[in-house]
Amino acid sequence: MRRMLQSTLPAVLVVGLGFGLLSAWGQGHVHGQAPSGSAAPASIRITMDALHAAGGVPPGWRFTLPAGDAAVGRQAFVDFKCYACHAIKGEQFPLKPGETATAGPELTGMGGHHPAEYLAESIVNPSAVLVDGPGYIGGDGRSIMPMYPEMTLAQLSNLVAYLKTLSAGDAEPAHDAVREQTATAFRVRLVYKRPDGADHMHPHHGHGGATPKSQASARLLVFLTDASSGGSIPYMPVSAKIDTGGKALTVKLSPSFGREGFHYDAPVSIPADAKRITLTIGPTTMRLDQGAPESLKRAQTVAFDLK
């Protein structure tokens, strides 16, 4: 019985993949070319001397999965019989004669929960992260989900592209999305942490009633990194405007450091009717040498839709 995906990990954690494993599976690839309609990830340019001086990889480097075709990936979901173990709200994958359904993690909303590289690792090496809970770990102490040595790189990237399209809709997930996008030279990641320790971008329900004291510890986090190197960017004024369709709430985020690394954060409870969070970033307060990126010298706005 095939299980497609084991996944649950704090959303702020990015897991790298070794390219050697995947390249052995790739077939008929074209160097540097993304599938039609897909945006290729930003390239890192570095000299060989600088690469060696940095320890063999660029500063802030992590593995990035090639862009895939979500429509083709949905077919791969069918071909590998992932539907026999994983439900997706809004999808219909009826079992064929002789197939038996087996309980596995529901994949509704999975696209917002994890970065693409973590989803890929969950498929090609499901025991890399073991989730404590029924239906995840077998008697041998390893994931009950099988590996797929026959899967090609194209199938993997397409399958992950399909998973990234899955959204939770109006459902309240067990843990929620890291929202991330690139703005000029920045990569901006937005995380909303609830008092219970779960990471959520879905607002609290029951807005308008009495606010429990525990909600005071809810926090909004922003991770700001250089899009090329992946290094954190300090000394940047960051504020967030939370739009509810009526009166907007604006908060200023402060530089912070914790188990997630360097970030900006502020204590704030996002109301249930919040529709959008707009971040204003910069200009930097640090001294810039000649040749510093122009993007550091001016304020920029990045909007994240919540609905």
Structure tokens of 101? 């359904």
Which of 151, 172, 193 is the endpoint of a domain?
172
Regarding whether 199 and 166 lie in a shared domain, the answer is no
Regarding whether 151 and 78 lie in a shared domain, the answer is yes
Regarding whether 155 and 10 lie in a shared domain, the answer is yes
Regarding whether 118 and 266 lie in a shared domain, the answer is no
Regarding whether 252 and 166 lie in a shared domain, the answer is no
- Which DSSP letter does residue 143 get? B
pTM, rounded to two decimals: 0.50
- The top-scoring range by mean pLDDT among 107-116, 126-135, 253-262 is 253-262
pLDDT of residue 102: 67
- The top-scoring range by mean pLDDT among 83-97, 141-155, 197-211 is 141-155
Residue 238: pLDDT band (50, 70, 90) is: very high
278 or 203, which is more confident: 278
Regarding whether 190 and 265 lie in a shared domain, the answer is yes
User: What mean pLDDT is reported for the chain?
Assistant: 74
Regarding whether 195 and 258 lie in a shared domain, the answer is yes
Which of 147, 172, 197 is the endpoint of a domain?
172
Regarding whether 193 and 161 lie in a shared domain, the answer is no
Report whether pLDDT(241) > 60.
yes
Virtual torsion, Cα 157, 163, 167, 171, nearest 10 deg:
-160
- pLDDT tens track for 25-67: 333 334 444 454 445 556 788 899 988 888 888 877 778 888 8
Structure tokens of 5? 């995906």
Q: What percent of the chain has pLDDT over 70?
A: 72
Instruction: Work out how many domains the chain is built from and give that number.
Output: 2
Supply the CATH number for residue 232's domain. Answer: 2.60.40.2480
Distances (CA, A) of 284 to 279, 280, 281, 293: 14, 12, 8, 11
pLDDT of residue 158: 94
Q: Among 26-40, 131-145, 162-176, 293-307, which stretch is predicted with the lowest mean pLDDT?
A: 26-40
The mean pLDDT of 204-232, rounded to a whole number, is 64
Report whether pLDDT(204) > 50.
no
Q: What percent of the chain has pLDDT over 90?
A: 17
CA distance 4 to 79: 11
Domain coverage including residue 290: 179-305
Taking alpha carbons only, the member of 296, 301, 302, 303 closest to residue 236 is 296
Structure tokens of 36? 């039609």
